[in-house]
Chains A and B, each alone.
Chain A
Amino acid sequence: MTRRAIARLPWFWGTVGVVGLVAVWQLVCTLFAVPAYLLPSPWGTLAALWADAAVLGPHLATTAIEAFSGLALAVVFGVAVAVAMSASRPSRDLLYPPLVLSQAVPLIAVAPLVLIWFGLGPSAKVLIVAFVCFFPITVNAYEGFRTVDPLYLELLRTLGARRRDVYRHLYLPATLPGILAGLRVGATYSVLGAVVGKWLGGSRGLGVYMTRALQSFRTDRLFAAILIVMFMSLAMFKLVDGVGGRLTPWLRRRQRA
């Protein structure tokens, strides 16, 4: 491959950026001999990751499951609210303000309450994740419902379509790209939500691991956990992207064309 062809690969510049950033980080740590409890080097982070892999595994699994369940709950809830809002003008006016206001609630302040209400078990964390993720999904889905071309609706009426036919053949597919866009945003939030949920209590999950690492000044372990969280967010994002592509084949082909 020529040098130009390599530079044109889709992931080329992304890789250059990340590798460059890590190199600068390593350079700073080495040159200024920064103590590891203040800023661990990339190498030190990887070493901690490797050494603690067995401990990290179960924490990671807990967080992943919570993030995923929360996201799934957010989809169901978000789409349901969007459908309700699209049903009529009054229902929209009724639901929109509280929906927006809900996003102004400082999660850090409310999360302990949620833990008190729902206990330290997984349900509280799942709820927190769902709370964080449902807003972009709802708004995008509602936007999708709202912008459906009324001519399609009329056409379906001439075919004798009932309400559920209209949702199945028109509203849902028309809204799906919007739901997926919201889901992509939600997916990155979900991991964060699961981690933050754990800061506040519980005995398993990456948040717990992070709290412990911080309390024992093992910043390298904290960074290792952060690294995992980042990759998990990326994986969630890619998962949504992949599933979304399968669900919307008409869009995929358009991009290729």
Chain B
Amino acid sequence: MSVISAWHLAKRFGDLAVLADVSLAVARRDVVGLLGPSGCGKTTLLRILLGLETYDSGELSAPPLHRAGYLPQDALLLPWKTVLGNAELPLQIQGVPAAERRRRVRDALPDFGLEEFASLYPHEMSGGMRQRAALLRAVLTGSEVLVLDEPFGALDTLTRHRLQDWLADLTERLDRTVLFVTHDLEEAVVLSHRVVALSARPAVVLGEESVDLTLAARRERLGREFLAARDRLLALLERADA
């Protein structure tokens, strides 16, 4: 059963056509990467799916993601809340009592490597810590679907690799539906079970590939399997130019 399904979505901002024809179906427990060049409308697509943006034509079915675990591009942690305060926000909005939500945040902190940083404010944290805190907030929504917009786009290479490995491991254990956006081939290989490739703006779906790698193989960025998967994705993207 699909938790996200969109048919022939199209969207323009004035004269600028952003999405030409995008169809997408994401099944429960699937981990799907939306791969496409920068500025191709990936973020717009996510925003449409989240109900934050309207669309001009096409159809959106399955329950709309009005409450999703959303990790925006810039983390968007509230500057006046600590890690703890930011992470417990979804629970607070849902009316979970204070003691209970504190307990749930504290239980989750170690998995996110934030155990010792619960009382830090966002500006006191590194970029990687901020992304993990924002992801923790997304996970604690309890939502079936996690929507991640270039989760590690703004980080340095080393930190990015480390967090990609960590997230690949985490998504295995979380057992949730994940839809994420990236322009990075390697990130797509490390994280996704299935990749949907989008063309440059105005976006159409170029095709899709499944990525059947073990967790260990996903971490071997120079491994044979990894590189083969990466090449398949590259071929998919280059189809547009052919």
Contact = CB atoms under 8 A, between A and B. Distances in A.
B57 to A, nearest CB: 23
Interface residues of B, number: 25
A170 B78 CA distance: 8
Chain A facing B: main interface SS? helix
A159 B141 contact: yes
B93 A155 contact: no
A173 B77 CA distance: 13
A48 B70 CA distance: 68
Contact of A155 (B66, B70, B92): B70
Chain B facing A: main interface SS? loop
Contacts of B68: 158
Given A151-B72, A157-B52, A250 B121 contact: yes
B176 to A, nearest CB: 15
A155 B71 CA distance: 9
Given A159-B93, A159-B141, A254 B123 contact: yes
Interface of A: 151-152, 154-162, 165, 169-170, 173-174, 176, 248-250, 253-254, 257
Contacts of A253: 121, 124
B67 interface: yes
B94 interface: yes
Contact of A160 (B52, B66, B80, B123): B66
B50 interface: yes
Contacts of B124: 253, 257
A160 B89 contact: no
B74 interface: yes
B76 interface: yes
A249 B119 CA distance: 11
Interface string B68-87: 10101010101111000000
